[in-house]
Amino acid sequence: MTRQLAPHPNAKPKRPPGHPAKVPRRRWTARSRRDFLVFLAMALPNLVLIAVFTYRPLFSNMYYSTLDWTLGSPTATVVGFSNYVTFFTSNDAPKVLGTTAVFTVVTVGGSMVLGLLVALALNAKVRGTTFARSAVFAPYVLSGVGVGLVWLFIFDPGYGVLAWLLRGLGQQSPQWINDPQLSLVMVILVYVWKNLGYCAVVYLAGLQSLPQDVMEAASLDGANGFRRFVSISLPLLSPTTFFLLITTMLSSLQAFDLIRIMTPLGTGTSTLIYEAYLQAFGAYNRAGYSAAISVVLFAILLVITVLQLRFVERKVHYS
């Protein structure tokens, strides 16, 4: 965010030849002062809230990550970077980072690809699309806890709906809940189901704002539907894709409720954020260690966002 003050936009600094350029001193005009006060009045309450409830815990958490601290204990010992060393040298790190990567890549990719396909279907001018749009978007606004409980019943290999259907086909239900690998598949499936509506609606808005004259011109030139989609729609949707890539990735890296409800032990589904929860608030009570894992997640989120802004956005066509 930049703040430009006072001088007229076209004003040029006047200086004699041979003299080094001086940065013109910004002067507050009555208007700029008034604008700044308005800005403060609007933004300050929010900035204070963010400072107190987001950035203060953030820096506190960074401090806790340097402590050997058992949750609930009134005292702790400063151990420097020991918690980070423990995490990266233990068996936990590859497992947790691997699970996080698989969960994030598959849920982001799945939600976006399926969301785009659903958006294409919903963009068709046929009866019932209004209802279909609502139906597709509904899971996104449902409580993750409720969704998790319902799907847990569906997946239950003993008396779940899916097991009942499979038995009808003469098949045994896979051990969705007990098998760590299948647990991850189960949680990913439900997460994608819950979130693809969000991608679909955002893509739908993007599709409906595409310039029709370009499409018509391409049709006249003989481009078929697939060609128009690949060569025109997809590139023009790149701002939408870029926006979704960042927002869905951030939300996948922070996914918690479904994992907590469907796999309380985190066996096979322990992503960074869930591992941080388990270590502090689960049975381990290792609050300092958990804080270190949170800081690792923080660093990953920042790096991913910066990389996306630096490199991915270059491929984006805004018009």
Write down the least CB distance from residue 58 to other proteins, Å.
5
- How far is residue 233's CA from residue 132's CA, in Å, rounded to a whole number? 22
Of 6 and 232, which CB lies nearer to other proteins in the complex structure? 6
- How far is residue 192's CA from residue 194's CA, in Å, rounded to a whole number? 5
Tokens encoding 12: 């040029």
Per CB under 8 A, contacts with other proteins among 186-225 are none
- How far is residue 181's CA from residue 104's CA, in Å, rounded to a whole number? 15
Per CB under 8 A, contacts with other proteins among 230-269 are 239, 243, 246-247, 250-251, 253-254, 264-265, 267
- How far is residue 279's CA from residue 260's CA, in Å, rounded to a whole number? 13
- How far is residue 99's CA from residue 272's CA, in Å, rounded to a whole number? 8
Of 112 and 297, which CB lies nearer to other proteins in the complex structure? 297
Site string for other proteins, 152-171 (x = CB under 8 A): x---xxxx------------
Per CB under 8 A, contacts with other proteins among 13-42 are 31-32, 35-36, 39
Of 181 and 208, which CB lies nearer to other proteins in the complex structure? 181
C-alpha dist (Å) from residue 212 to 134, 171, 216: 25, 50, 6
Buried b vs exposed e over 20-52: b needs ≥16 C-beta within 10 Å?
eeeeeeeeeeeeeeeeeeeeeeeeeeeeeeeee
Q: Which part of the chain contacts other proteins (CB under 8 A), choosing from 122-130, 199-207, 213-221, 303-311?
A: 303-311
- Neighbouring CB atoms inside 10 A of 242's CB total 18
Of 109 and 157, which CB lies nearer to other proteins in the complex structure? 157
Write down the least CB distance from residue 293 to other proteins, Å.
10
- How far is residue 122's CA from residue 200's CA, in Å, rounded to a whole number? 8
- How far is residue 166's CA from residue 155's CA, in Å, rounded to a whole number? 11
**Which DSSP category does 283 fall into?**
S
Write down the least CB distance from residue 51 to other proteins, Å.
10
Q: Residue 70's beta-bridge partner residues?
A: 286
- How far is residue 233's CA from residue 226's CA, in Å, rounded to a whole number? 10
Per CB under 8 A, contacts with other proteins among 76-135 are 76-78
Write down the least CB distance from residue 317 to other proteins, Å.
13
How many binding residues for other proteins (CB under 8 A)? 79
Provide long-range contacts, Cβ within 8 A and 24+ apart, for 33-36. 36/3
Q: Which part of the chain contacts other proteins (CB under 8 A), choosing from 48-56, 99-107, 110-118, 224-232?
A: 48-56
Write down the least CB distance from residue 240 to other proteins, Å.
11
Q: Which part of the chain contacts other proteins (CB under 8 A), choosing from 110-118, 207-215, 224-232, 272-280?
A: 272-280
Write down the least CB distance from residue 101 to other proteins, Å.
16
Q: Which part of the chain contacts other proteins (CB under 8 A), choosing from 10-18, 105-113, 202-210, 290-298?
A: 290-298
Write down the least CB distance from residue 180 to other proteins, Å.
7
Write down the least CB distance from residue 39 to other proteins, Å.
7
Per CB under 8 A, contacts with other proteins among 55-84 are 55, 57-58, 60-62, 64, 67, 69-78
Smallest Cα–Cα separation from 277: which of 250, 306, 297? 297
Write down the least CB distance from residue 76 to other proteins, Å.
4
